[in-house]
Amino acid sequence: MNITEILSPIIKKAIFELFEVNIETIEFQMTRKDFEGDITMVIFPLLKTIKSNPVELGNKIGNYLVENIQEVEKFNVVSGFLNLVIADSYYTKFFNDIKSNEYFGYVSPSQDEKAIMVEYSSPNTNKPLHLGHVRNNLLGYSVAKIIEASGKKVYKTQIINDRGIHICKSMLAWQKFGNGETPGSTGLKGDKLVGNYYVAFDKEYKSQINDLVSSGLTDDEAKKKAPIILEAQQMLLDWEAGKPEVIELWKKMNQWVYDGFSETYKNLGVDFDSYYYESNTYLLGKDVVEMGLKNGVFYKKEDGSVWINLTDEGLDEKLVLRSDGTSVYITQDIGTAIQRVKDYPDVGGMVYTVGNEQDYHFKVLFLILKKLGFDWAQNLYHLSYGMVELPSGKMKSREGTVVDADELMEEMTQTAKNISEELGKLDDYSTEEKEELYKTIGLGALKYFMLKVDPKKNMMFNPEESVDFNGNTGPFIQYTYARIQSILRKASFSLDRNIAEVILQPKEKELLKQIQLFPEIIQNSASQHSPALIANYTYDLVKEYNSFYQTVSILGEPNEDLKIFRVQLSKKIGEVIKSAFELLGINVPNRM
């Protein structure tokens, strides 16, 4: 049991017996480093109901605890804070209770608990995945893992944007300039090949615009009248009309892209339980609009278009169906959300991993679904994240100036290789072992660097900085894990028995307090949808362990019980690091 769970009822009892006052909650915080103590009770909130000065109040409660429970050894009062020193026996008992639980902190999903569906990735099929998609995928996948570890069933999904004018641009450019080339004939991944034609379209489009402007048209006129854009618009109409040769081309080129995406996802270490395609969902939602009209949620204007008025909620009026009966994006999203609950009836909430430029869209979507009366609409969350920037500036897909996801992963692996070879500790590794290690370090660096930042913040990605073996980086944490595995390999004795009577060093006590925080960190990370809490907790744990490693003797300790305890403690730290990194989608190496 957590120390706050032990202390809370006793303190409430103490306050009632001492002052005849009932209180609902006790406020705790970690004791500041410059004071003696392990846990601190904040006295100030009690002064509203108990007429006393904070020091006197703290001393009375402190004395009561020392006299009545064995967990509190002594105390001190500083201003309005009661600092409690917790007995070593409490921490050793806690450690013995959890040391054989490899997945300490994880909660198994309850059968009664509603599932959560997490959407991420959601790419367009006209270009390969880039650096922005990497942040999206890593965030969505990690949040799904964290919510699952917090005790909920999770479905991972995406919606693939496989229709629209942007898709037709790649298709048309391939028809015009491709000479029948394929991923097989070029050796290019299919998403790369199709992406090249998206860039080729833009290049030709700009050329035609310039020619038309030279002939006397305005820039806006030229953009509308360029022959290639008119052809792309006609191709979209032909697709929507089901023209066989257009559909066949669309299926062929999309499949190239899906095959390419699949390879990228595998290398990135993310996966999905289900896929939704905009080509299947773009007609969804129209029947819901009819239902909403009957219920008075929507209203029809004179031109036949259908709207919802959200001005009372601080938003604006929103179009949900055009006058010609065609849907808009919000209509599709309404229909897709409803379809997902039909497909997975145990879903009770959804998380959408989408950039912060869509904040307003999701406010509108969630509010409409609530007004339509769906109970699960109370549990919708937009995992809004900031842009990934580079030292060289912003990326532009049309101009081909994006950081390609595959190339980024290869560069990270190469950077890890260069740094590892400089350190020169891999002489006894086979070539295969080295390559696997470089990939583990490189991807670990990439993922950790992306996930340690609060999702809502924009971030600057610096590949070199991310692979540093010192500081708040993935490789630094991986190296500590490998160091612990080395200790375990050298320990030639059994770690099975419980060590009850140990006088804890301050560093050992700090580590046990850090371990004890892990379940709460998982729950907070799940409720806040923030892998950054897990990442930075792990870094703090590793810093604390490295300080312990430098301060005390482990395998060289002459006292047998103490030596076993310190190796057991090291093993547990390693398990927590591994568990935490699994929630971030990061592997840990046994040797580095």
pLDDT value at position 579? Answer: 98
> Burial letters for 122-136: b for 16+ Cβ neighbours within 10 Å, e otherwise?
bbbbbbbbbbbbbbb
pLDDT value at position 397? Answer: 43
pLDDT value at position 297? Answer: 96
Residue 393 has pLDDT above 60, yes or no: no
- Mean per-residue pLDDT for 138-142? 98
DSSP of 544-566:
HHHHHHHHS-STT-SSHHHHHHH
Residue 231 has pLDDT above 80, yes or no: yes
pLDDT value at position 392? Answer: 64
* Residue with token string 């140990």: 502
Which pLDDT tens digit goes with each residue over 156-194? Answer: 999 999 989 999 999 999 999 999 999 999 999 999 999
Instruction: Please report, rounded to a whole number, the percentage of residues in the chain having pLDDT higher than 70.
Output: 98
- Mean per-residue pLDDT for 71-91? 96
pLDDT value at position 401? Answer: 56
Which pLDDT tens digit goes with each residue over 476-514? Answer: 999 999 999 999 999 988 888 888 788 899 999 999 999
Which pLDDT tens digit goes with each residue over 524-568? Answer: 999 999 999 999 999 999 999 999 999 999 999 999 999 999 999
Q: How many residues does the chain have?
A: 592
* Residue with token string 């239902």: 291
Residue 240 CA: distances (Å) to CA of 283, 323, 325, 411, 461: 11, 18, 14, 41, 40
- CB contact at 8 A, 129 and 405: yes
Q: Which residue has the higher pLDDT, 33 or 152?
A: 152
Residue among 223, 225, 125, 222 at smallest CA distance from 166: 125
The model carries a pTM of 0.92
Confidence of residue 207 (pLDDT cuts 50, 70, 90): very high
**Domain 3-86 shares a fold with domain 415-583:** no
Domain ranges of the chain: 3-86, 164-278, 415-583
- Hey, which of 19-23, 127-131, 228-232, 431-435 has the most confident mean pLDDT? 228-232
Q: Which CATH class is domain 3-86?
A: alpha beta
> What is the four-CA torsion angle of 195, 201, 206, 207, rounded to 10 degrees?
130
**How does the average pLDDT of the chain come out, rounded?**
93
Handedness of CA 80, 86, 91, 93 (dihedral sign): negative
Among 15-24, 57-66, 83-92, 426-435, the range scoring the smallest mean pLDDT is 426-435
CA 106 to centroid of chain Cα atoms: 17
Confidence of residue 233 (pLDDT cuts 50, 70, 90): very high
Confidence of residue 398 (pLDDT cuts 50, 70, 90): very low
Residue 368 CA: distances (Å) to CA of 4, 263, 319: 41, 37, 12
Q: What is the C-alpha to C-alpha distance for residues 421 and 434, in angstroms, rounded to an integer?
A: 10
Confidence of residue 473 (pLDDT cuts 50, 70, 90): very high
Instruction: Please report, rounded to a whole number, the percentage of residues in the chain having pLDDT higher than 90.
Output: 83
pLDDT value at position 465? Answer: 84
Residue 399 has pLDDT above 80, yes or no: no
> Burial letters for 101-111: b for 16+ Cβ neighbours within 10 Å, e otherwise?
eeebbbbeeee
- Mean per-residue pLDDT for 230-255? 95
- Mean per-residue pLDDT for 583-592? 95
- What CATH superfamily is the domain 415-583? Isoleucyl-tRNA Synthetase; Domain 1 (1.10.730.10)
Residue 412 CA: distances (Å) to CA of 258, 425, 449, 592: 24, 19, 12, 16
Confidence of residue 339 (pLDDT cuts 50, 70, 90): very high
pLDDT value at position 112? Answer: 82
- Mean per-residue pLDDT for 246-260? 96
Residue among 165, 144, 321 at smallest CA distance from 232: 165
- Mean per-residue pLDDT for 94-106? 94
Residue 113 has pLDDT above 90, yes or no: no
